[in-house]
Amino acid sequence: MTVMVKKLGGSVAVVIPKSIAREMQLSEGVSLDITTSDAGIVLRRPGRRPRRPMREIVAQMNSAAYRRHNREMSADRPVGKEIW
């Protein structure tokens, strides 16, 4: 299927035919990621960020900073009408 590139303000636009939009469940307001490849332009639905293993997250934690922060929190005393 061939489509025409049209000028739209300071950009250019490609109209996605209704049959393809229906097949891909696209409607107005849906966001798409656009990238280029050797073959041309690629449109994709934005994917979720890949999940990182908990071991990797914990390995990047600075335990010294956590201990310091915890000590600061435990030194606080009620100042006003807080319920502790």
Nearest to 44 by CA among 19, 18, 26, 17: 26
Structural domain of residue 12, as residue ranges? 5-44
Confirm whether 36 is domain-assigned. Answer: yes
* Structure-model confidence comparison of residues 77 and 69, the more confident one: 77
Q: What is the per-residue pLDDT across 4-60, written as a single tens digit (0 to 9) for each? A: 999 999 999 999 999 999 999 999 999 999 999 999 999 988 887 788 899 998 888
- Looking at per-residue pLDDT, the higher value among 23 and 82 belongs to 23
In a domain, 58, yes or no: no
Q: Are 84 and 76 in contact, with CB atoms under 8 Å apart? A: no
The answer to whether residue 54 is domain-embedded is no
69 in a domain, yes or no? Answer: no
Beta bridge partners of 44: 33
Query: What CATH number should be reported for the domain holding residue 20?
Result: 2.10.260
Is the full-model pTM beyond 0.85? no
Domain for residue 84, yes or no?
no
Q: Which long-range contacts (CB under 8 A, 24 or more apart) does 70-79 make?
A: none
What domain count does the chain have? 1
| Residue 39, domain member (yes or no) | yes
CA-to-CA distance for 82 and 35, rounded, in angstroms?
A: 53
Higher pLDDT, 67 or 55: 55
